[in-house]
Amino acid sequence: MQYLIIKEQMYENISNSFFVVNQTDNIDKAEDMLQGYNLISENKDSIYSIIKYEQPQILDKKVA
């Protein structure tokens, strides 16, 4: 399982954009990174958040 740190850039007249700025497999490290990004961010139109990402399960055998 991966934890993605996402940056949402907000705009006035167009749709918001989203960027993956970092990733880790440790939730504690992800929370520390999120706190760090929020502390150093000077842009008030940016929001950082954590998304839990699980790879999709691929079925390789047919079920009868």
- Which residue segment(s) compose the domain that 16 sits in? 2-53
Beta bridge partners of 51: 4
> Is 9 a domain residue?
yes
* Cα 19–chain centre separation: 8
Q: From start to end of 10-45, where are the E strands?
A: 17-24
- The total of other beta-carbon atoms located within 10 Å of residue 47's CB is 16
Q: Output the pLDDT for position 8.
A: 95
Q: Is 3 exposed, middle or buried (0-12, 13-18, 19+ CB in 10 A)?
A: buried
Domain count, the chain: 1
pTM for the whole structure: 0.77
> Is 62 a domain residue?
no
> Is 58 a domain residue?
no
Which pLDDT tens digit goes with each residue over 18-43?
999 999 999 999 999 999 999 998 88
H or E segment and range at residue 36 = helix 27-40
